[in-house]
Structure 1
Amino acid sequence: MTDSMTDVPSASPSGLDNLRAEVRRFLADELVASTFTPAVDSWMTGFDAEFSARLAAQGWLGMTVPAEYGGHGRTPLERFVVNEELLAAGAPVASHWIADRQMAPSILAHGSAEQRQRYLPGIASGTTFFAIGMSEPDAGSDLASVRTRAVDNGDSWTISGTKVWTTGAHTAHAMVLLARTDGQPSDRQTGLSQFVVDIPHPDIEIRPIRSIDGQAHFNEVIFHDATVPASALLGQRGGGWAQVMNELAFERSGPERYLSTMPLLRAWASLLARTGATPEQRDTLGSLTAQAWGLRRMSLQVAAELSAGRNPDVLAAMVKDLGSIFEGDLGDAVRSSSLAVAKLGGNDPFATLLAHSTLHTPVFTLRGGTNEILRGIVARGLGVR
């Protein structure tokens, strides 16, 4: 970590109050119009292309993308403010989330001129959605053991293999794929490359995976010797591992890593304000709020590091580790302190939020890298052997 880590940005960064107020007014109008119902984990499960289009019309997608590619040339801190408000409100942002969060910066950093022109304007306009093809069956969190292979045909690549837990593949227009182009699985990080693959594709099969609550936002994606053009290669051949590690700073550090269950906390606070709280409930509410505030400060620091052009991979891993634990603890604490019964399909919005929080909690410490993997990253970054 750098010396700049001591320069923590303000909890309410200067000059961003007007933007925050603008987002809140937009969300208030959307709620009045009943265009969405606040939900936990909305950045993973809240697929709503029309809502994404309305955000794009406000200039809130592709915020850090240069204007020449259809973006708005704004800062990571401005983007942070917008996303923080969307997540805290439980807005349905899953359709565009992966594209806007990590594919836009990745394509800017590693993509060809053709790829930038092809994908970035669609990301900024909310019309091009992405999925991530990283995890594989039997690999667990050992990303370097991927077996999916891409064979170079000169003017094309032939891809074979299987990806799993691929969020949103059934609604995406493209997928970023990590595959082995050289060597053997035993070579680990060496010989891995990234590709941008358009979907649907006649030789790419997408099978839904239903979660415990009956939703199907995960998928198994099978590449049956799928041929893609040579131009699908993202960045350098063999540079896939380094590129993925850079992307993960964006994936692991944002406010979504501690705000997935924030709509539940807000709903509980509102309920207690109406019905009254016991001293124990006030203590629980205060403790959870303080933890969220601390995580927010850490996440803001990551946004500041990104604004300065640095790669805060260690701090991002810390945010994801602590944030994912907090998200689960929040649901447990509210459930223990509340008299409500978690229930799906009823007329009580709070009981529904509580039920979804309970059902989603097991994935919080798995997605984006297990907490054990993240702690290894932090240890190595701090020089621990």
Structure 2
Amino acid sequence: MLVGAESSFAALCANEPELSVLRASIRDFVAADRAEFGWQPAVDAWLSQWDADFSARLGGAGFLGLTIPTEYGGHGLGHLHRYVVTEELLLAGAPVAAHWFADRQVAPGLLAYGTEEQRRRILPEITAGRFFSAIGMSEPQAGSDLAAATTRAVATDGGWILNGRKVWSSGAHLAHAIVVLARSTPLDTEHRHAGFSQFLVPLDADGVSVEPIVMMDGGHHFNETTFTDVFVADSEVIGKIGDGWHQVTAELSFERSGPERILSTAPLILGLIRALSQQAVDERTAAEVGDLVARLISLRQLSVSVARALTAGESAANQAALVKDLGTRFEQDSVVLVADLLDYVDANSAAQPALRAMLATARAHSPAFTLRGGTNEVLRGVIARGMGLR
């Protein structure tokens, strides 16, 4: 544990002995799993590399559900423990998309707002890497303005009837369920954020339709999910009816502040550095690499500070929005910088084909980095309000 005599810098490193042991363990697991099953490091793996078997192996090895209490099948650890594991998975470019949203958002959401039945039914499956969820927030006409969402939930006997459309629901074509934000009371123009509720909707329910949104490189992980008179039982309401906005706002701190907001391109950056380290480089190239790494380290420390705040039970919505803004802009910048630096890697280097392939993927995904999780322009308004500037 950190004590007052230690510097504030040490608090940003996440190097306490138990975290170092955990970091070594997940590194060993990743290396062994890749050697046995042959998956290759990928850019943006947390969003696009779906491998249900890998998630099950990860859960079986004890690396999922770290923040879930033991009474619900988890490991009873803190946000920093989960941070260390997710950081190492991202650095390795491991295929983590299947379990990502369930472990990152659904689990803390259920712990904070779910019923006892929901927790006992779902949390052990998340810990085991066997429950996969999509997130249904954004809508075609609403974008980052979630208060403009028009998906409706109308009360009926034993539950709710859901109608509406959600976009960018990553993994919905493969997931078991989707967490949907919907209006459960008519819009009050004076209180636009009121009247929302959250529903856990099985994706095989009658009336649910999932259509692919294909990336320009042919990849498919985004979807448009339509709900037509979908019955959702009362048992699948998350939290209290009408408290959806408060719940989502808290949930977004986990979504926006994690290491995935700065490390989506990390396998490409690390691969480039390894390749350059095998040859002589001039001072200009060394300086550019140094600048790239320095920016990454600084952002990582900001992200760790949010993880510590969440561990302490503090609100970190403003800090999380800041990490997301700065981090995703760095990710976009890193694609351009790596593209330039890659020209300095020996053309005969064995690393060239893999680096070029990852760069092509990064270029295709780069425009979305600053959009997902709330556009950066909107988040700057959130940050300004949090600082009392608006």
Give TM-score scaled by structure 1 length. 0.95
Could you tell me how far 1:7 is from its partner in structure 2? 5.0
Answer yes or no: is 1:322 the counterpart of 2:326. Answer: yes
Could you tell me how far 1:133 is from its partner in structure 2? 0.5
C-alpha distance in 2, partners of 1:35/1:72? 28
Aligned to 2:260: 256
Could you tell me how far 1:340 is from its partner in structure 2? 7.6
Aligned to 2:69: 66
C-alpha distance in 1, partners of 2:113/2:22? 30
Structure 1 runs, 4 residues or longer, greater than 6 Å off = none
Aligned to 1:293: 297
1:74-85 equivalences under 5 Å are 74-85=77-88
Aligned counterpart in structure 1 of residue 162 of structure 2, from 159, 162, 176: 159
Q: Deviations over 1:332-385 (max 9, x none)?
A: 0011222189xxxx9811110111111110000000000011111111111102
Does structure 2 conserve the Cα–Cα contact (< 8 Å) formed by 1:147 and 1:185?
A: no
Aligned counterpart in structure 1 of residue 42 of structure 2, from 34, 39, 44: 39
C-alpha distance in 2, partners of 1:110/1:197? 16
Does structure 2 conserve the Cα–Cα contact (< 8 Å) formed by 1:168 and 1:218?
A: yes
C-alpha distance in 1, partners of 2:326/2:188? 31
- The count of aligned residue pairs is 378
Could you tell me how far 1:36 is from its partner in structure 2? 1.1
Answer yes or no: is 1:383 the counterpart of 2:369. Answer: no
Aligned to 2:312: 308
Q: 3-state SS of the aligned residue for 1:160?
A: strand
Does structure 2 conserve the Cα–Cα contact (< 8 Å) formed by 1:179 and 1:194?
A: yes
C-alpha distance in 2, partners of 1:276/1:43? 33
Aligned counterpart in structure 1 of residue 115 of structure 2, from 112, 115, 124: 112
Aligned to 1:13: 15
Could you tell me how far 1:158 is from its partner in structure 2? 0.4
Does structure 1 conserve the Cα–Cα contact (< 8 Å) formed by 2:318 and 2:383?
A: yes
Give structure 1 stretches of 5+ with no counterpart.
none
Answer yes or no: is 1:24 the counterpart of 2:32. Answer: no
Aligned to 2:220: 216
Does structure 2 conserve the Cα–Cα contact (< 8 Å) formed by 1:203 and 1:224?
A: yes
Aligned to 2:341: 337
Identify if the C-alpha distance between structure 1 residues 185 and 332 changes in structure 2 by more than 3 Å, giving closer, same or farther.
farther
Aligned to 2:172: 169
Does structure 2 conserve the Cα–Cα contact (< 8 Å) formed by 1:154 and 1:230?
A: no
- The amino acid that maps onto 1:208 is P
Aligned counterpart in structure 2 of residue 143 of structure 1, from 146, 157, 180: 146
Answer yes or no: is 1:245 the counterpart of 2:253. Answer: no
Q: Deviations over 1:112-171 (max 9, x none)?
A: 111111211111111101100001112121111111000001311100011111001011
C-alpha distance in 2, partners of 1:169/1:340? 40
Does structure 1 conserve the Cα–Cα contact (< 8 Å) formed by 2:196 and 2:241?
A: yes
Aligned counterpart in structure 2 of residue 228 of structure 1, from 228, 232, 257: 232
Does structure 2 conserve the Cα–Cα contact (< 8 Å) formed by 1:51 and 1:93?
A: yes
Identity in percent:
48
Aligned counterpart in structure 1 of residue 105 of structure 2, from 102, 107, 112: 102
Answer yes or no: is 1:197 the counterpart of 2:207. Answer: no
Does structure 2 conserve the Cα–Cα contact (< 8 Å) formed by 1:145 and 1:185?
A: no
- The amino acid that maps onto 1:276 is A
Give TM-score scaled by structure 2 length. 0.94
- The amino acid that maps onto 2:118 is Q
